[in-house]
Structure 1
Amino acid sequence: MQRRSFLRRTITAASVIPVSRAFSLTDHEMNSSSEKTFKLNYAPHDGMFVNHAGKNLIDQIRFMHDQGFRAIEDNGLLKRPVDEQEKIGKELVKLGMTMGVFVVDSGDNWKISLTTGKQEFIDNFIRTCKQCVEAAKRVNARWVTVVPGFYERTLPIGIQTANVIEALRRGAEVFEPHNLIMVLEPLSDTPDLFLRNSDQTFQICKAINSPSCKILFDVYHMQRNEGNIINNIDKCWDEIAYFQIGDNPGRKEPTTGEINYKNIFKHVTSKGFKGIWGMEHGNANPGKEGELALIKAYREVDNF
Structure 2
Amino acid sequence: MPRFAANLSYLFQDEPFLDRFQAAAQQGFEAVEFQFPYDHSPAAVAAAARDSGLPVVLFNAPPGNWSEGERGLASLPDRRQDFRAAMARAFDYATACNCPRIHVVAGVGKPGMDRRAMRACYMDNLAWAAEQASAHGLILLIEPINRRDIPGFFLSDFDEAEAILTEINAPNLRLQFDFYHAQIIHGDIIRRLEKHLPWIGHIQIANPPGRHEPGVGEINYDFVFERLDALGYDGWVGCEYRPSADVEASLEWIRRYGVTKRAAKRSVTP
Shift of 1:98: 2.1
Cα drift, residue 281 of structure 1: 1.1
| CA distance in structure 1 between the aligned counterparts of 2:233 and 2:179, rounded to whole angstroms | 15
Cα 1:56–1:210 change in 2 (3 A) is: closer
Structure-2-length-normalised TM-score: 0.84
Secondary structure in structure 1 of the residue aligned to 2:174:
strand
Unaligned runs of 5+ in 1: 1-38
127 and 225 in structure 1: CA distance in 2 versus 1, 3 angstrom threshold: same
Show CA shifts across 1:115-135 (max 9, x none). 4533xx121111111111111
Pair 1:72 & 2:32 matched: yes
Query: Taking every aligned residue pair, what percent have the same amino acid on both sides?
Result: 25
Q: Which residue of 2 aligns with 1:260?
A: 220
Find the partner of 1:100 among 57, 60, 63. 57
1:172 to 111, 127, 130: 130
Preserved contact between residue 32 and residue 55 of structure 2 (Cα < 8 Å)? yes
For 1:196, which of 156, 160, 166 is the aligned residue?
A: 156
- 1:44 aligned to 2:2? no
Which one has a larger percent helix, Structure 1 or Structure 2?
Answer: 1
Does the 8 Å contact 1:125/1:171 carry over to 2?
no
- Report what 1:294 is aligned to: 250
> How many equivalent residue pairs?
253
- State the partner residue of 1:125: 83
Greater Rg, structure 1 or structure 2?
A: 1
Q: Deviations over 1:237-267 (max 9, x none)?
A: 1111001111011001110000011111111
Q: Is the 8 A contact 1:262 1:301 kept in 2?
A: no
Structure 1 residues 150 and 48: alpha-carbon distance in aligned structure 2, compared to 1, 3 A threshold: closer
Task: Answer yes or no: is 1:278 the counterpart of 2:238.
Answer: yes
Aligned-residue CA RMSD (Å):
2.4
Are the equivalent residues in 1 in contact too, given 2:145–2:153 (CA < 8 A)? yes
Q: Is the 8 A contact 1:115 1:148 kept in 2?
A: yes
Paired residues of 1:89 and 1:140 also in contact (CA < 8 A): no
Question: Which residue identity lines up with residue 297 of structure 1 in the other structure?
Answer: W
**1-structure distance, mates of 2:251, 2:226:** 19
Displacement after TM superposition at 1:194 (Å): 0.7
List aligned pairs for 1:50-65, cutoff 5 A: 54-55=15-16, 57-58=18-19, 60-65=20-25
Unaligned runs of 5+ in 2: 260-270
- Per the alignment, do residues 72 and 128 of structure 1 end up closer, same or farther by CA in structure 2, a change over 3 Å counting? same
Change (3 A) 1:63 1:111: closer
Q: Shift of residue 77 of structure 1?
A: 1.5
The separation in 1 between residues aligned to 2:100 and 2:205, in whole angstroms, is 19
User: What residue number does 1:28 align with?
Assistant: none
Q: Which one scores higher on RCO, CA 8 angstroms, separation ≥ 6? A: 2
Question: What TM-score comes out, normalization by structure 1 length?
Answer: 0.75
2:243 match: secondary structure: coil
**Is the contact made by 2:42 and 2:92 (CA closer than 8 Å) also made in structure 1?**
no
Alpha-carbon distance in 2 for matches of 1:112, 1:219: 21
Q: 1:113 to 1:292 in 2, by over 3 A?
A: closer
- Residues 193-224 of structure 1 show CA distances to partners (whole Å, capped at 9, x for unaligned) of 11001111111111111122111111111111
The 2-side partners of 1:228 and 1:240 are apart by 17
Residue from 178, 194, 197 that aligns with 1:234:
194
Q: SS at the partner of 2:177?
A: strand
Deviates more, 1:121-130 or 1:105-114: 105-114
